[in-house]
Amino acid sequence: MKLGLKELPAKLRAFFAKFPPETEKAWSLGTARPNPFLPAKNEITGAWRGPVYSNRKQADLFKLAKMHNLQHLLPRQKTWNGEKNRRIIQSVIRPKGKKFERNKEARQEKKNTILQEALKKTDAFKQNLKKEKALNSRSPI
Amino acid sequence: MAKKQKARILIKLLSSAGTGYFYVRSRARTAPKLNFIKYDPRIGRRVIFNEAKMK
């Protein structure tokens, strides 16, 4: 596999298995090789087929290849002609989270305190009942 | 004519554990407020249920 022992992401691996690059420096040497990222015309029928990989998938592959410095080994993309200064954000810095996620701990704590208080009150209530029962059961004599 | 008040009213016995679970009961209008220890399935335990107004 490419790059020796380095493990590539599954998408890249699958792509290189189907469309391996011809040299270490480029995906294809000449124009003869059909590009899976571009539409192609069937010589016999004259009909055009769309790209094998959609724009979204091409972009995914490009980003993965760029992370591993292999972007030169991909064929020419349909929409990404020439690399511009583009910063690919690889992770979210400080995700905000939803409101209920932010409040979750506080809500749970509040629920717990209410429950504990209720249980205490229940115990006190039961003690009271026992006392009253004891008082009432005593005969007036 | 003004509507005559009923002798008995329906009340809600609301769980003190804050789960919102309630029982419904009737009592005489002149009787004191009701409190019972009943089972709350939302926590799976018995707690005090206090009277609350039935809307």
The pLDDT tens digits of the residues spanning A48-75 come to: 999 999 988 998 898 888 888 888 888 8
Look-up: residue for tokens 């400080």? A94
ipTM score of complex: 0.84
| Under 8 Å between Cβ of B37 and A124 | no
Can you give the pLDDT at residue A5? 45
Range picked from A86-90, A95-99, B41-45 for highest mean pLDDT: B41-45
Query: Within an 8 Å CB–CB cutoff, is residue A124 touching chain B?
Result: no
Closest chain B residue by Cα to residue A107? B18
**Closest by Cα among A33, A4, A8, A37 to A21:** A33
Residue A36: CB atoms within 10 A of its CB come to 17
The CA angle B21-B24-B26, to the nearest 5 degrees, is 155
Buried b (16+ CB within 10 A) or exposed e, A77-116: bbebeeeeeeeeeeeeeeeeeeeeeeeeeeeeeeeeeebe
Q: Does A118 touch chain B (CB under 8 A)?
A: yes
A114 touches chain B (CB under 8 A): yes
Distance CA A139, CA A135 (A): 9
Alpha-carbon distance B6 to nearest alpha carbon in chain A (angstroms): 31
Contact of A73 with A37, CB cutoff 8 Å: no
Q: Has residue B11 got a pLDDT over 60?
A: yes
A8 confidence band (pLDDT: 50, 70, 90): confident
* Distance (Å, whole) CA B37 – CA A17: 69
Tell me if residue A53 falls in helix, strand or coil: coil
Rounded Cα–Cα distance for residues A96 and A100 (Å): 11
CA distance linking residue A74 with residue A53, whole number of Å = 12
Closest CA to B51 of B23, B19, B30, B20: B23
What global pTM score does this model have?
A: 0.50
Q: What is the CA radius of gyration of chain A?
A: 34
Domains of chain B: 9-52 (2.20.28.120)
